[in-house]
Amino acid sequence: MRIALVDSGLGTLATAAALRRMRPDLDLVLSTDPDHAPWGPRPPEEVAALALECARAALRYGPAALVLACNTASVHCLTSLRAHLEPRVPVVGTVPAIKPAAATGGPIAIWATPATTRSAYQRALIREFAAAIPVAEVASATLASAVDAGEEAAIAAAIEEAAARTPREIRALVLGCTQYRLVADRIQAALAPGVELFDAAEAVAAQTLRRLGLPPRPEATPTGTLVVLASGRPGGLPPAALGYEAGRVLARPGGRGTSPAGATADRRDRPGPPSPLAAG
């Protein structure tokens, strides 16, 4: 069985790695968009159009489910993708983990891209789950792109800048961009001691399996394949991905994630019949 994940850059890695750990026998398609990454600073209508193109590219491979492994895309186009695809193909979104973070009693902060931070969706989550506690919304226009590029100095500068705008008294920090999970240890180190981090990768992976009626089987034989699409072009994991533990999980033997960019997918990883969205 194949699952597709969509994000502009390396944000697919954390959820894909969680799926790989839970079900090493699953085939995965990572549909990324390096030609237009990051999506976070872009207007909502452009984010929706770009996410739709990535979904179309992934759906050519016949996945059983599609995961929007991107907070920005989820808050702007999850509803429209579900309207197009479900019930034929379940669509699982990724939204900021505000509910569990708010359960700490606050105060909390939410680090996210500008598009997610200014979205009505995030504001609705705050009203629903965190209306009674202080919430600091911290938008970063540079951290996601620095993570995608694997640029250590840029990552450090972006984290330092965001941390400087984060109240020191917070109890919990929501990682509202899937790229941020990849540098969670560095974010933790930049915060006051005792701050708990919250993100959605494991929860989204578990929800995807539930939607498909699949139990976790971490002991399964690691036969799952990996296809990586770069703005629709078949390729491989970019070099920056291997700088993160999630990327290394996907690149281990059995995951077929070690092929260089431009490598040809094996027979099982070639596009199948057109999906409802593939033709536009």
**Annotated catalytic residue 77:** no
The catalytic residue among 6, 48, 70, 205 is 70
Q: Which of 69, 177, 187, 241 is catalytic?
A: 177
pLDDT of residue 229: 97
Q: Which fold has domain 2-94+202-269?
A: Rossmann fold (3.40.50)
Residue ranges, comma separated, of all CATH 3.40.50.1860 domains in the chain are 2-94+202-269, 98-199
> Position 202: which residue type?
E
pLDDT of residue 254: 53
**Nearby residues of 181 by Cβ (< 8 Å), 6 or more positions away:** 14, 175, 199, 201, 246
Instruction: Say which residue the tokens 């498909």 belong to.
Output: 212
Give the residue ranges of the chain where pLDDT is below 50. 255-270, 272-280
User: Which CATH code for domain 98-199?
Assistant: 3.40.50.1860
Q: Are 193 and 56 spatial neighbours (Cβ–Cβ below 8 Å)?
A: no
- Residue 97 has a CB neighbour count (10 Å cut-off) of 23
Enter the pTM of the model: 0.88
Q: For residue 84, what is the DSSP state? A: H
**Distance of alpha carbon 98 from alpha carbon 173, whole angstroms:** 9
The pLDDT of residue 269 is 46
Strand order in the sheet with 108-112: 135-139, 108-112, 172-175, 196-198
| Angle CA 219–222–223, to nearest 5 | 135
**Is 177 an annotated catalytic residue?**
yes
